[in-house]
Amino acid sequence: MLNKIRAITKQKGQGIVEYAVLLAFVVALAMFLNAGGLKDSVIAVFDDVEDFLSYRTYEEYYRDLRKSSNSDLASIPNKKRIKADQEALQSLVQNLIGLEAGEALAELQKLVPGVDLAQVSPDGNYKSQEIEIMRYWDHFNDPAAVADPSKSYITFGNDSQVDAANYLTGNQTQTYKVNEQKPAGLPKKTVSTDRYFYSDNMISNSEKRTITAQLHYTDGKVDSVNVVARCGNNQDNSKNTVADGLNITVTGSGRKGYTVN
């Protein structure tokens, strides 16, 4: 009997020692990760896994969120809304990859009817001019719109930029004309009741939003496109604020066909 008790005690003692060794290893690993660059790498891997499991295309976001109020969007983590906006930017320019300047021009004219070959052709640094694809003002959080969501709307910079909105949404954009400004008699502006971007910087106020693109060439063909979303009312668009996560370089289509700058 005594020998059995000693055997059980020995086994328990071994279990405690093993647990302590395992705990020490976990603590040491945590300290190592915190001290070195592996911490960020491990976090990035878990973020990528979470991103993959929760991945949705821009078309899915557009279908569900295009009429959403600011309060509705606030219930969704901003990180996921930034992801939707990145997908939207990618979808605007991904078809340019691999095209020569003339072909890229024809594709871009579906978005920006007024763009010409001089804007698209590469310079000595293998870059095109910065091209404005879309410009609009978000009135979803104006006091009247907050009180009555049916009065929420987007004002486009000019009528031709509805083409970019339709390109982005598969011709699902709902637009109409409104005389937004007083006195009466001014030209009516094209407005839309649909949202196009959803992250915090893109819905936080009624400042101008501008989406621009710049093509980069290798061996005469577009190998990447830098796409940037900015907010602000400066005449010099480069002085306006870049929206969080919305300065991306597109190198392909589909999920992760871009890198965030």
Residues 163 and 243 in one domain: yes
Alpha-carbon torsion, ordered 186, 192, 198, 202, to 10 deg = -10
Q: Return the C-alpha torsion angle 43, 56, 136, 105, nearest 10.
A: 100
pTM score: 0.79
How many independent structural domains does the chain possess?
2
Say whether both 163 and 239 belong to one domain: yes
Please indicate whether residue 128 or residue 74 has the higher confidence score (pLDDT): 128
Shared domain check, 174 and 135: yes
What percent of the chain is modeled with pLDDT above 70? Answer: 77
Residues 109 and 219 grouped into a single domain:
yes
Same domain, 6 and 97: no
pLDDT in the model for residue 2: 43
- Give yes or no: residues 201 and 241 share one domain: yes
Do 66 and 28 lie in a common domain?
Answer: no
Kindly state the average pLDDT of the residues 170-183. Answer: 79
- Same-domain pairing of 115 and 7: no
- Same domain? 82 vs 199: yes
Distance from C-alpha of 149 to C-alpha of 177, rounded to nearest angstrom: 18
Q: For residue 9, what pLDDT is reported?
A: 46
CA dist 10 and 83 (Å) reads 55
Q: Which domain holds residue 42?
A: 2-51
Same domain, 154 and 108: yes
Q: Of 215, 211, 69, give the one whose Cα is nearest residue 148.
A: 69
